[in-house]
Homo-oligomer: A and B are copies of this chain.
Amino acid sequence: MAEARARRRNGKRSGRRPEKETAPRAPYISRQIATYDILSAEGLDLIEDNANTILQETGMEFRGDPEILQIWRNAGADVKGERVRFEPGMCRGIIQASAPGEFVQHARNPQNNVIIGGSNTVLAPVWGPPFVHDLDQGRRYATLDDFHKLVKLHAMLPAVHHSGGVLCEPVDVPANKRHLDMLLAHIRFSDRPFFGALLGAERAQDSVEIAKILFGAEFVNDHCCLYAVSNTNAPLVLDSAMSGALKVYARNNQAVACTPWTLAGAMSPCTEAGTLAQVLAEALAVMALTQLIKPGAPCLFGCFATAISMQSGAPTFGNPEAGRMVLVAGQLARRLGVPLHTVGALTASKIPDAQALQESTYGLTMSVLAGANFINHACGWLEGGLVSGFEKSVIDADLCGKLSVFTQGMDLSDNAQAMDAIREVGPGEHFLASQHTLKNFATAFYRPLTADNNSFEQWKAEGSLDAARRANKIWKDLLARYEPPPIDPGVWEGLKEYVAKRKASLPDQPY
């Protein structure tokens, strides 16, 4: 502890640096503990049999995209109008013939490359909210300035591995041009991997072109540099905005998380086994589609399954049913041999309060136990995904760090067994000054960023701040300390030029 004190005293930037250490930076989690499996092989068979029955009897609709229908016809599926039906096992066979079990998503800083699949887990921030929330300004429509701040803030959170995508919707930029500004911001303010735009072939193509400028066209051809999600319109529909983007990414060998998004009770049956059969059916069809477009293109089994309130119809998050469903989704993905994409710290709460962290902690923990390989919304989500919260991101990132440590399993080395320490100290004495403690204190135990473990008196003297108020100070401090990572000036000019040209070629569309 003397060392810690000395560091604090001598720290050159001690005025701006938080006293507490954060989690050690790692590009992704390499899990050392088992996944938590709650269904038997027979239970998994039952769900997959039902998924096959759904695909065979009801099938799936691919709306507004004749090319997709032709791809299915060529593959031997039964296509009637926009409805496509599949023989049992057909999609599984297509997926297993070529879909990779794991792959690398590249970052412009290779130290931040992530391995997606196997026993690895990548944590990404919140995706999609039109609003932002912080304690100073409350809830408001998001702007590009908020977006920039959020990219920078997440880049400063060591337990997050991915720069993400739509950290918030910058509604002050025309809707059809936002994706360009967001891609530029991820590239300029972070050197972690990032998302491609999700909606429509045109924006996906922009994402690929931008990746080619950043990584080099040849490199992009056979390396995954973009990550995208393709959401079904549950039940059993994929629309052209999604299939359009999916085609672009798959053809360019970029990753697509094939993610049925469902609120059980509204968009799927109000039961878990029924919902999972539908989720699996949709995911099988969409994953198979990526492989038909480009065999070997990285794809993931995505699961975003939660429930509505049967009293009000409102979406609910962090419910016990969602936890069970994500655990089973993990089992289904593993036996299929593809990586699992899930969602993390979800909540319906409007503010970063006790409800928010009860729901988020349960949800993120379940996704980690499920062995998810990519967890979207691992931090920052509020109000059912309508709001991106600055304080919420900081508090959640602490949970990300905690769970990262948890996944490393228990150290059983001689040092960890500490038998000499127990011999040295003996009954009734304390370990604070033991040789073993002095040797290990600097690395012992996860150090949370936001938790206050001080006495009541000290907490009161410091203003009786709740976790959200402390997080408010932390994100401001992190932004104050933020420095952009270096970027090749020629590449940056090329990116800006591409975006300027594209913007000039597009009419302004507010929505």
Contacts and interface: CB of A to CB of B under 8 A. Distances in A.
Interface of A: 1, 4, 19-20, 33-34, 36-39, 43, 46, 50, 53-54, 57-61, 63, 83, 139, 233, 235-237, 264-275, 277-278, 307-316, 318-321, 323-324, 328, 348-362, 365, 369, 383-384, 386, 395, 398-399, 402-403, 405-406, 409-413, 415-419, 421-423, 425-432, 434, 436-437, 440-442, 444-448, 450-456, 459, 464, 466-468, 471
A52 B492 CA distance: 64
Given A58-B422, A436-B269, A452 B34 contact: no
A468 B38 contact: no
Nearest to A54: B422
Q: What is the copy number of this chain in the assembly?
A: 2
B274 A427 contact: no
Contact of A411 (B271, B310, B427): B271
6 contacts: A19-B311, A269-B437, A273-B410, A320-B405, A349-B467, A362-B402
Contacts of A430: 266-267
Nearest to A268: B431
Given A269-B421, A417-B277, A316 B36 contact: no
B354 A319 contact: no
Contacts of A277: 417-419, 422
A58 B423 contact: yes
A99 to B, nearest CB: 24
Q: Name the residue in A269, A362, A398, A426 with the highest tally of chain B Cβ atoms < 10 Å from its Cβ.
A: A269
Contacts of A270: 418, 431, 436-437, 440-441, 444-445
Q: What are the 7 A-B residue pairs with the smallest beta carbon separation, nearest first?
A: A274-B418, A269-B418, A361-B361, A355-B467, A236-B427, A353-B466, A270-B444
A304 to B, nearest CB: 16
Contacts of A53: 419
Contacts of A316: 445, 448, 451, 453
Contacts of A418: 269-271, 273-275, 277
A150 to B, nearest CB: 19
Contacts of A447: 309-311
A351 B319 CA distance: 23
Given A63-B428, A269-B436, 12 more contacts: A20-B311, A34-B37, A38-B409, A43-B412, A59-B427, A271-B417, A310-B442, A311-B447, A315-B453, A352-B354, A355-B395, A358-B361
